[in-house]
Amino acid sequence: MKLSEFAGYGDKMEQLMRSVQAGRIVHALLFTGPHGSGKRTVARLFAQSLVCTGHDRPCGVCPACKRFLNGTHPDVHVLRPEKKSIGVDEVRALIDALALRPYEGGRHVALIEQADRMTPSAQNAMLKTLESPVGDAMFFLISDAPGGLLGTIVSRCQTVRFSDLSVQDCAAVLMRRGMEPGRAALLAGAAQGSVGRALEIDGDEEWFSLREQVIRSIESLKGPATVAAAAVPLEDRKGGEGDILDIMELWARDLMAVQSGGAPYQAAEKERLGACRVDGGLLLRGVVRARKQLDSNVAWSGALEQLYFGLTEAGNSGRTVLSWQR
């Protein structure tokens, strides 16, 4: 993978990369942003480009890149919390290693993952190194929670902030990783643009079974008398309300696409979407209302039943629901 392929960040990152390679910036970068926003991936691409000996860095094929990728490059040092934290001994061992001449003649690269999990004494040891660097070692600190870092460490670093991608850019990244387009669109939407979260869902069978349960529940709505029975299986899934509403929102968006004659994200499910009798727009508005109700402590069962009644009672919304009797 190349930085330029990192949708949403390409230009900015390439510019930063050129300054890093030309030695024009501070020797410590702090990558912050929400979990799954790509900061670790980008930090690793940066680090790899610094040790790469090929053209079009990081080339991915030169011996240095190969050693980087399989974790055996002698000048690349990675610290991450093995248990709860990164201790002072680990930081001191890193500093000792950096004092040696780079094995391959380039520069040392240190990657500190979850950097905020360094203990206070580890952070102080790190700070000393950042204040009076050894050789031209380059530090990459990565953190979801930079508030856990000493202000003096943060001020020694150039901070690069990440946010989640747009759903479309996220899907593009997933497809570039070889994911089939329908699945990429589904997971990018479910993860709201977080590539990391999308990849987690990808391996989460329970999420897919919950999705099937949610869609079947919606499909089983056949008028006001069926609301209670349709809601029961979802009412029992306490704690998963947020996931259930997210799944409903995705289904609503695809229903709206099909009902207005457009193409759904889930092309493979077009027939199923076409057979669903619920109005997509009503479902979407119901989801928004239910989220607000949950925020103001309305019971999940009450919010869900009200959402379902809203889909079956045309009078409440002033809109016509799709025909219940076919």
- Which residues contact Zn ion by CB under 5 A? 52, 54, 59, 62, 65
Q: How far is the CB of 69 from Zn ion (least distance, A)?
A: 9
- Compare residues 73 and 277 and give the one whose CB is closer to Zn ion: 73
- Compare residues 49 and 312 and give the one whose CB is closer to Zn ion: 49
- Compare residues 54 and 181 and give the one whose CB is closer to Zn ion: 54
- Compare residues 81 and 106 and give the one whose CB is closer to Zn ion: 106
- Compare residues 59 and 150 and give the one whose CB is closer to Zn ion: 59
- The C-alpha angle 265, 220, 297, rounded to 5 degrees, equals 80
- Compare residues 50 and 311 and give the one whose CB is closer to Zn ion: 50
If DSSP states are collapsed to H, E and C, what string results for the chain? CCHHHCCCCHHHHHHHHHHHHCCCCCCEEEEECCCCCCHHHHHHHHHHHHHCCCCCCCCCCCHHHHHHHCCCCCCEEEECCCCCCECHHHHHHHHHHHHCCCCCCCCCEEEECCHHHECHHHHHHHHHHHHCCCCCCEEEEEECCHHHCCHHHHHHCEEEECCCCCHHHHHHHHHHCCCCHHHHHHHHHHCCCCHHHHHHHHCCHHHHHHHHHHHHHHHCCCCHHHHHHHHHHHHCCCCCHHHHHHHHHHHHHHHHHHHCCCCCCCHHHHHHHHHCCCCHHHHHHHHHHHHHHHHCCCCHHHHHHHHHHHHHCHHHHCCCCCCCCC
Length of the chain: 326
Question: CA-CA distance, 65 to 54, in Å (whole number)?
Answer: 8
Question: CA-CA distance, 312 to 316, in Å (whole number)?
Answer: 9
- Compare residues 21 and 209 and give the one whose CB is closer to Zn ion: 21
Alpha carbon of residue 95 to chain centroid: 32
Q: How far is the CB of 174 from Zn ion (least distance, A)?
A: 25
In the chain, the N- to C-terminal Cα span, in Å, equals: 51
Q: How far is the CB of 113 from Zn ion (least distance, A)?
A: 22
Structure tokens at 162: 């990440």
- Compare residues 107 and 272 and give the one whose CB is closer to Zn ion: 107
- Compare residues 62 and 322 and give the one whose CB is closer to Zn ion: 62
Q: How far is the CB of 68 from Zn ion (least distance, A)?
A: 8
Q: How far is the CB of 258 from Zn ion (least distance, A)?
A: 47
Q: How far is the CB of 188 from Zn ion (least distance, A)?
A: 30
Q: How far is the CB of 1 from Zn ion (least distance, A)?
A: 13
Q: How far is the CB of 56 from Zn ion (least distance, A)?
A: 9
Q: How far is the CB of 42 from Zn ion (least distance, A)?
A: 17
